[in-house]
Structures are given as C-alpha cells and as structure tokens.
Amino acid sequence: MSQNLLKTPIEYLKGVGPKLGALLKSELGIFNYEDLLHFFPHRYVDKSKYYKINELTSTSTEVQIIGKVTQFREVKQKRGSRLVVQFEDDSGTIELVWFKGIKWIKERLKINEPVVVSGKPSLFSRKLTISHPDIETLEKHRAQKLSPLQPVYPLTEKLTSRNINQKYYKKLFVNLFTQLKDTRFEEVFSEAITKQFKLLTKKEALFNLHFPKDINKLNQAQYTLKFEELFYLQLAMLVKKLVRMHKYKSYPFENVGDYFNQFYKEQLPFELTKAQKRVLKEIRNDLGRPVQMNRLLQGDVGSGKTIVALMAVLIALDNGFQATLMAPTEILAIQHFNSIKELVEPLGVNIKLLTGSTTKKNRTVLHEELENGSLHILVGTHAIIEDKVLFKNLGLVIIDEQHRFGVAQRAKVYKKNVFPPHVLVMTATPIPRTLAMSLYGDLDVSVIDELPAGRKSIKTVHKRDANRLGVFGFIREEIKKGRQVYIVYPLIQESEKLDFKDLMDGYESISRSFPLPEYKISIVHGKMKPADKDFEMNRFVKGETQIMVATTVIEVGVNVPNASVMVIESAERFGLSQLHQLRGRVGRGAEQSYCILMTKDQLSDDGKLRIETLCKTNDGFEIAEVDLKLRGPGDIMGTQQSGILNLKMADIAKDTKIMEYARYAAQKLLEEDPNFTKEENKNIRIKFEELQRSKLSWSRIS
C-alpha cells in the first residue's frame, strides 16, 4: 500500500488542486507524489551567511545582505515604470530594482529601517543591481527558525507568472512529507551494500535533500542518490560487456612466434616505455582468448601507440592470420605504411597500401595476394572497408584515430571473416577516466600515460595581437635554423565566410612578412580539392615549403618531425582538446618545439582558463579533465548513447570517486549474483529491468 501512496496524482496533494496540478505536469513533468519527491533542488542557499555589499560581483549566486533603504524613486519607461531603490550597508551601496508590483513594494518600504535583502546580483546598465529581491525586516527575519541550508528549485517563466515561487515549493514539500510520514520507502540496495558504502536509507536521503538538517547530512543524501544513479549506469555497462563476451567468439592467438620475437630482438629501434609494455601485455592477454578483443588504446600524441599496434599485428601473423590498419586520411595511411614497412620488411613480411588512389593494376595484384593469403598486412584508408576487399584469413583490425570512423563502418569490418576479427582502436583524444568508464564500460581501455624518455616537452606561450612583430621575428629565427612552422586559423561553421576571410587575410599578411624567394608557404583549407590539399601538404612534408598556413584540417596525425613551431591564431575560439591536438603536431623531432597561442586582448573567463591550462601542462589527461569540467560531457563523442546525459544528480566530471565505488559495487554484485536471483537483490532487478525497458523504447523513438 505504501507504494500506491507514492503514485497518488499530484493534484490530490494539499495546496495543489487541478489547476496547479496541470501546470506542474506540463512544466515540470511532475505527475504524482513520487515525481515530486524526485524533483531536486538545483542548489542551496546558506541562510547563515550574510554578504557585504562590497563583496558582491555579477557572478555571485543568491546572496543575503543586511542594510537599509536610503531613498527610492519611480522611473517612467516606455512601458510602465520601474522602482529604483538605493540600499546601503556599512561597506557600500547597491541598487534594487522592481518592474512589477511596484505599488505594493512602495507602500511597505521604510527609509532607514534595518532589513534583510536576498536575491541574485547582476549587471544592469553596467551597474551592479538586484532585481526583484526578497525583502523583509530584520526583526521578522530573525524570528523565523530556518535551517541554515535552504533548497532552491528550478522555476520556469510560466510558473513565475502564476506566482509559483520558492516559498510555494517549500509548502508543497512540507505537505508531501506530512502525507508520507508513516510510509515505508522500498530500499534499493541490500543491507550489506547500504552498510559497506555508507548509504542513507532512501527515505532519509530524500528527506534531507529537501530539508537538509546540516551540510553533512546534505552531503550524505546527495552521495546516496548519486551512488544509486551511477550504480545503474555501471551495471548497464557491465551487463553489456558480459553479453559481448558471450556473443562474439573470435580466434585465439595462442603463439607468440618468430615474427614477434625476431622483431623484438632485432628490429625494435628503442626500449619500450613501461606504459607500452603494460599495454602490450593487456593486448596479448585479450588476443589469447577465443573472444573478440574490443580494446580502445588511448595515448597522447607521440606516446608511441603505433609500435604497440604493430607488435599486436606481428602476433596475428605468428598465428597465421592477416592484419589490417586503417587511418582516416590518405596522408596518414601513407605515413603509417612507410614507417611500418621499413620495420617489418626485414622480417620477410609482405605489406601493401590501399587507398582511393591505388591504381587498378596494383589493386588487382593486391586483391589476389589478399585472397590467397600471401599479403600479410594491409594498410589503408576507408577503401579497406569496401565489400570487394576480401581477406583469406583476417585476424586483427587496427583503427587509428577512432572518432573519424563511424560505428557502421566498424561493423563492416567485423564481417570480413567468419568470426569477427579482433579490434584495436587507437585514439589520441584522451578521455577522462570517469567518462571512459561510462562511455566505454563495455569496451576495454588501455592507456599509454607516459612519453618516451628524452622527449623535450613543448614550450607553450600566450601572445596577444600587439606582440605579432615579435612572434614573426621568432618564426624567422626558427626558419633560419632550418625548422618549419605551422600557422593555424579557426574555421567554425557558424561564421564560415568570415573565418575564411580571416584565413585569407592572414595568408596575405604572412606572404608579405615572409616574402619569396627566401620563404615558401603552403596553404591548406577545407574548400580545396582533396588532390590540391594533398599536393600542398606533401610539399610541406618534404620540406619544400617552410610555412604551412592552414585551418584545422591538419589536426589529425600528420607527422613532420622537422616542424618546431605551431602558431594558433584566435586561440580563444578553439576548444581545449582541439588546441592540445593541434599542439601535438610539433614536438615530434629532436629539437625544442614551441606552441604560440595568439589571442585578442580581452578574454572571457573560460577562454582565459583554457589558455592558462595549455600553457601550464602538456598532459592530455589533465587537459581532458579541465575540458570536461568546462564543457560538460555533452560535447564528447559517444555520450549521447551512454545515458550520462540523463543523470539527474551525479556529475560525471566531479563525482569520480562515487563512480568508482558504484562500479565496484556493480561488479561485485554481478560476480556474486549474476542473474539477481537472491531475494536481497530483488529490487535492484526490478529497477534495472525498468530502466532497460525505458531506454529501449527511448532509443526506438529517436
């Protein structure tokens, strides 16, 4: 019966009724008591804290100030009028403004009477102002015995226009909890889990969210609800992974043989880093099992992913299988092909390149060798995916720069053998750990978190337009030393025309500052034909030009070790991870490299933080964490499908620890009770099935 009470339609709650009930439904999706219980405050105001006027800024949240009104006047405007009130304390003065209810306020304002004003300061005609604050006499304010933490709930314009405000919400929750006083709430977790992870009971957690006793209890309540939410997210991921393990059989590579061993002893041009060794071990483990490997290899630019991938390829060869490596662009494919060929040809390995520009004649030979098995490694672009490309016995697929390949394309690769081949996806876009845990919970993730020894870290500096002459001088010096330079312009869809003009203007001024015949310049942008682009890019790769002016098309993978300077124009307009990617184009040779971030004079707070972060660190994971905090998970690939964006309480960027606890709990549960058959896990099963169902129908709709 208790559960039924929670399903009571919202209009039956004291203080609601049919009219407001309809509004709560349409505006907030609150249909019954349970929905209201789960309508969470978006923040809390600390009612024990009072601000001084000189502490306020336009970014302050809700504040309380004690002071007095010194004068007020009504100002006529086009429509109606506004009431402007001078308010002061012993630190300064601020204006309070009302646009509505002026008559009512005016009647109650008393000059020089001590009052408490609460509201949110903002800039109005360049002056710090609080509009429509709550105002009450100090006497009355002190008479109320409020908990120091007051919840603030979301409001919409429509609700406000119907006089729904924080006081009304408060009344609703008082009525709701009075109604539910004797109701027992179903606990989700077994006593063991509740105890081990120090969770509150469901009822205590929900109560304290709406009526926090103190900050401690509030923290515990939030922790409990976040834990629950993340638990189901992790459970879903882990179940998906289990399903995959049963579903996708593949070929076990049982031997590590001559190709691998000979390469390791005779060809490996350097000692592997610790991280590379660890990752290689993880991959070997996967490949040895009769289950498809589905592994994401993350590693910052230059961390040496390719060599690890190559060694996995050699294991495939040792077991009589073929392997293929796909890159997102022709230039990258060619670079991979050349460097890998050099390393494996001494072993007697047959390796070939397949791209859109492979001639028909070469293709014929290639297809034949691929089908009779005499071709061991195929490197190439999307061309590899085409149905007519058939392998005799494909065992391993390496995909470089994962985000350029779609899911559908990857699925095609799976069909290239009777069982799907093992898959290793490499990406240089670091994804923070928490996010990886939820995005790729069903994928295994390896991380190379260490650069090869002796790498000089790139020096990053911030320069403003006024320093341009100095920057150009620096570029000349580097070119004199024989180095090459990138100058990159943003190209962002919304103002593509303007951006393009910036690029062309920039190109012109660079051409004037770096004249022929001493300096030669390449230019590459998205409006060029692919063939022209490749031509220009190749001139730079071969060292025939010293400066490459480009849009972000150069972001992915190009390797020109001789390039030592990366100048990024309008750097404030790029996202953090994109800036980091661009910077990774330099620092690939033995020379000291530089990244120069050019910006306009005035930067937004976010812009400043991005630039400072980049100047401070070269660590892609650290940068990714900041990026996640700044942008939220919404902009990161894959988040749409993961359910992360539907989280109500937890914040993927901040709740790292809770996520780890939740994952651990979910893992343990699946080990001990994989089908949730134990009585104590009954409620987990019910809720989990409910969630899976709602997710299913949701994905069918979209």
Token representation of residue 679: 């009585």
Stretch that binds ligand ADP, among 78-86, 298-306, 646-654, 679-687 (CB under 6 A): 298-306
- Contact (CB, 8 A) for 95 and 87: yes
DSSP 74-107: EEE-SSSEEEEEEEEETTEEEEEEESSSHHHHHH
Q: How far is the CB of 493 from ligand ADP (least distance, A)?
A: 27
The answer to whether residue 535 forms part of the interface with ligand ADP (CB under 6 A) is: no
Cis bond upstream, residue 515 (ω within 30)? no
Beta-ladder partners of 60: none
- Nearer of residues 274 and 459 to ligand ADP, judged by Cβ: 274
Among 119, 302, 432, 638, binds ligand ADP (CB under 6 A): 302
Grouping H, G, I as helix, E, B as strand and the rest as coil, residue 315 is helix
Among 174, 272, 347, 609, binds ligand ADP (CB under 6 A): 272
Q: How far is the CB of 65 from ligand ADP (least distance, A)?
A: 54
The answer to whether residue 583 forms part of the interface with ligand ADP (CB under 6 A) is: no
How many residues in the shown chain lie near ligand ADP by CB under 6 A? 15
- Nearer of residues 271 and 544 to ligand ADP, judged by Cβ: 271
- Contact (CB, 8 A) for 571 and 611: yes
Stretch that binds ligand ADP, among 35-43, 299-307, 471-479, 595-603 (CB under 6 A): 299-307
List % helix, strand, coil for the chain (3-state, nearest 5): 50, 20, 35
The answer to whether residue 452 forms part of the interface with ligand ADP (CB under 6 A) is: yes
The answer to whether residue 304 forms part of the interface with ligand ADP (CB under 6 A) is: yes
C-alpha distances out from residue 695 to 419, 602, 638, 688, Å: 29, 45, 16, 11
Among 306, 355, 429, 446, binds ligand ADP (CB under 6 A): 306
DSSP state letter for 201: P
Q: How far is the CB of 425 from ligand ADP (least distance, A)?
A: 13
Q: How far is the CB of 328 from ligand ADP (least distance, A)?
A: 13
Q: How far is the CB of 335 from ligand ADP (least distance, A)?
A: 8
DSSP state letter for 266: I
Binding mask 407-446 for ligand ADP (x = CB under 6 A): ---------------------x------------------
Q: How far is the CB of 377 from ligand ADP (least distance, A)?
A: 16
Binding mask 473-512 for ligand ADP (x = CB under 6 A): ----------------------------------------
Token representation of residue 578: 């994109």
The answer to whether residue 587 forms part of the interface with ligand ADP (CB under 6 A) is: no
Q: Please, which of residues 47-76 interact with ligand ADP by CB under 6 A? A: none
Among 299, 380, 430, 638, binds ligand ADP (CB under 6 A): 299
- Nearer of residues 202 and 483 to ligand ADP, judged by Cβ: 483
- Contact (CB, 8 A) for 655 and 230: yes
- Contact (CB, 8 A) for 315 and 253: yes
- Nearer of residues 417 and 581 to ligand ADP, judged by Cβ: 581
Stretch that binds ligand ADP, among 82-90, 188-196, 266-274, 675-683 (CB under 6 A): 266-274
Separation between Cα atoms, residue 96 and residue 94, nearest integer Å: 7
If one counts every other C-beta atom within 10 angstroms of the C-beta of residue 194, the result is 17
Q: How far is the CB of 683 from ligand ADP (least distance, A)?
A: 46
Q: Please, which of residues 106-135 interact with ligand ADP by CB under 6 A? A: none
> Which residue minimizes CB distance to ligand ADP?
304
Four-CA torsion 555, 558, 564, 570, nearest 10 degrees: -10
Q: How far is the CB of 152 from ligand ADP (least distance, A)?
A: 46
Amino acid identity at 43: R
Stretch that binds ligand ADP, among 303-311, 496-504, 517-525, 685-693 (CB under 6 A): 303-311
Stretch that binds ligand ADP, among 5-13, 195-203, 304-312, 406-414 (CB under 6 A): 304-312
Edge-to-edge strand order for the sheet containing 484-488? 459-464, 594-599, 563-568, 484-488, 547-550, 521-524
Tell me whether strands 422-427 and 294-299 are parallel, antiparallel or unpaired.
parallel
If one counts every other C-beta atom within 10 angstroms of the C-beta of residue 581, the result is 22
C-alpha distances out from residue 553 to 243, 475, 521, Å: 39, 22, 16
- What interhelical angle do 215-247 and 656-672 show, nearest 10? 50
Q: How far is the CB of 408 from ligand ADP (least distance, A)?
A: 25
Name the residue among 605, 561, 600 with its Cα closest to residue 455: 561
Among 276, 545, 551, 599, binds ligand ADP (CB under 6 A): 276
Q: Please, which of residues 189-218 interact with ligand ADP by CB under 6 A? A: none
- Nearer of residues 438 and 460 to ligand ADP, judged by Cβ: 460
DSSP 467-512: GHHHHHHHHHHHHHTT-EEEEE----GGGHHHHHHHHHHHHHHHHH
C-alpha distances out from residue 397 to 253, 391, 420, 585, Å: 14, 12, 10, 25
Q: How far is the CB of 301 from ligand ADP (least distance, A)?
A: 4
Among 118, 129, 224, 303, binds ligand ADP (CB under 6 A): 303
- Nearer of residues 212 and 430 to ligand ADP, judged by Cβ: 430
Among 118, 208, 273, 402, binds ligand ADP (CB under 6 A): 273
Q: Interface with ligand ADP by CB under 6 A: which residues?
A: 270-273, 276, 299, 301-307, 428, 452
